[in-house]
Amino acid sequence: MENLVRAFPVFLPGRYDIWKGMVNTMKVSPHILDGKRRIHFIGIGGSGMFPLAQILQGRGYQISGSDNNPGDTIDLERSMGMQVVIGQKAENLAGADAVIYSAAILEDNPELIAARASGLPVLERSELLGLITAQFYDCTAVCGTHGKTTATALLTHILLGCKKDPSAVIGGKLREIGGSGRVGKSSILAVEACEFCEHFLNLYPDLAVILNVDADHLDYYKNLENIIRAFHTFAGMASKCVIYNGDDSNTRQAVEGIEREKITFGLSPQNDYWAADAERCGVGYRYRLMRRSEPIAEVKTATPGAHNILNSLAALAAAIRLGCDPRQAAGLVESFGGAGRRFEILGVRGGVTIADDYAHHPKEIEATLRAARELGFRRVWAVHQPFTYSRTALLLQDFADALSIADRVVLSEIMGGREYNTYGVCTEDLAQRIEGCRWFPEFPEIARYVMDNAGEGDLVITLGCGDVYKCAKLMLEL
């Protein structure tokens, strides 16, 4: 226990008794990191792994890790003194006292096999995150099929601006904290809660924020009813309050019967917090923040897309519930430039604007491309890397419809991630459903084709949660 207290200084007076009462129901022993010094992360380059590595390093642990692909996150981790190697083999575990692995790691991974055989403590990422969330009085967990990284990052941005000194675990980089994780000294933790394989059920939220509920991860959940049931369970785990999208029918169904304080947000006046008189303003939107019938602040978003009105409403509702002044919190929204890989403008070459976005579900791609079309570019190019065979196969026509919003569509090979291709799906199956679509097996081919054919005034946006951002960088180099 002593090591956990040292690791997480927000182990506050009074919280110990509450947290100690959880021990009998926790899936992982709270003592599992006692006496440990070096923690090894398998898949340390993942967006969900980086903030946990940051937090543990910030509390004095030595961090090592491995990944199969180099990238910006790996470079940043190395610059912070973490020992990261490319390529995964059993020898990488030498000297480790505990091992963390991500959900993207397959069962035949040599490091995971060696870790389990070694007798070392081995935790899946969400199990470690659960241990961390249990330490906070005000763990605010932001979940939803879409938008949770942006909303969590914006909430963190507001809390920092309001001097609340939060800790944070975000699925994307936030400029103010130099990464995606932060250790603060207050009782507040803003954490992104992912529904993949019910991982968010490993957490211990005090405030649960539900942005939306949609059909995704159908290889695991099988149908929307099971997804709604999982969100219902998560909402019931909140010890204090559930903040949810009152305009989303699936979300309303998910919170039915939950006996907690409930706060709604949305675009319609029946919500507790809602946006009145929303209108386009620059790249974002301006609206009046209403608390039921009372106007309480003016809000201006600086990130593209009408969907970011809802993200800002969710973040503001949570921030106000956590004690932020409404006007101060609302004023901070305009200075939020977005999380990394969320409609991130990377540069302009030859009059062509190149951007990158994490969108990997049809609804997210639709929202991103509609936002892009609002910005007045001559043509919008969508360069998409499908992620996982199951999602591609099960939502094939939905992907085709969403991508067809763009003027030009270019596809890469499917990135299988954590899966084998038992569906027999390939990129050509998707390309055939999109008029004029082109596809190439390698990023250099895509980059060359796009830059040879895009013209002045065009926007090229790479889309996907894999490593398609590398293709955007190749375009900048060309």
Active-site residue among 149, 303, 427, 462? Answer: 149
Which residues neighbour 318 within 8 Å (Cβ) at sequence distance 6 or greater?
140, 142, 155, 207, 209, 243
Q: Which of 281, 297, 300, 277 is nearest to 289 (CA)?
A: 297
Biggest CA pair distance of the chain: 64
Rounded Cα distance between 374 and 211, Å, is: 23
Active-site residue among 77, 111, 192, 344? Answer: 192
Radius of gyration over every alpha carbon of the chain, rounded to an integer in angstroms:
22
Among left, alpha and beta (phi > 0; psi -120 to 50; other), residue 391 is alpha
Active site residue 294: no
Active site residue 442: no
Active-site residue among 127, 140, 145, 148? Answer: 148
Tokens (6 digits) for 134:
């249990």
Active site residue 192: yes
Tokens (6 digits) for 339:
């999380």
Give catalytic residues, as residue numbers: 148-149, 192
